Structure 1
Amino acid sequence: MIYVLALISIILGAIAQYLLKVGMNAIPLDSGKGIAFILKEAVTNIPLLGGLTCYGLSMIFWLYVLSQMELSKAYPMVSLGYVFAMLLGYFLLDESLNVYKIAGIILIISGVVFITKG
């Protein structure tokens, strides 16, 4: 069960990254309107706020995971967030996925499996 909660936390973190990316892409940072405009846009940006909310929820789950699991097993699992973020980018943002990225995904997953079994 604790591994499921860790995965929920990690997936929420990756979703947060996706939402932050979408939210920031919607804010015209080079508009020359100044920091007040950017801040106003940021606090009314639904994807950005959703990303921050996902981060908050992720942290709540993660704190519980840390209280129940060895740090040396829990923390390496965070690297799965790279995998989930890459897949979200590929499927939802039309980002590239090549043989090197796929090899990296395989290495990350293999490393997490070895560490959590050890």
Structure 2
Amino acid sequence: MNYTYILLTILCTVYAQLVIRWQMKSAGVLPPGFTSKIAFVFFQFLNPWILSVCFASTLAIISWMAAMTKFEISYAYPFLSLSFVFVLLFSSLILGESLNIYKIVGTILVTLGVMVTFKG
């Protein structure tokens, strides 16, 4: 059950990043001018998908707090790097974003780093 908290944190974080990217692609570019930028961002909070991101982010925080009662931060925190791996994978598969050899090699290195930390 202890690792469930870390996994839930990762899943909520990945969900939030993918949904924000998806919704911001459809929202268009950030307008010029400070007031217009504030209005643009405020308007995004009326979007149910963005509200779901707020919920997922809150759940990630709560889950991380629970994980911190079970693990040392120096042990648990590297697992959050797996968020990067999943965001890269799903942004390519779902959102059609680019994937190249440098991103793949970097992702492998991150994963190996997490595995080394897990053994430690």
Give the TM-score range, shorter chain.
0.7 to 0.9
**Percent identity (aligned):** 33
Query: 1:111 and 2:116 equivalent?
Result: no
Name the residue aligned to 1:27.
Answer: 27
Normalised by the length of structure 1, the TM-score is: 0.87
CA-based RMSD: 2.0
Residues 72/35 of structure 1: CA separation in 2 closer, same or farther (3 Å cut): closer
Contact 1:22 1:48 in 2 (8 A): no
Number of matched residues? Answer: 118
Instruction: Flag structure 1 segments of 5+ consecutive residues without an equivalent.
Output: none
1:30 aligned partner, one-letter code: P
The SS at the match of 2:27 is coil
Q: C-alpha deviations, 1:80-110, integer Å up to 9, x for none?
A: 1111111121111101112221111111111
1:9 aligned partner, one-letter code: T
Match runs of 1:23-102 below 5 Å? 23-28=23-28, 29-30=30-31, 34-35=36-37, 37-102=39-104
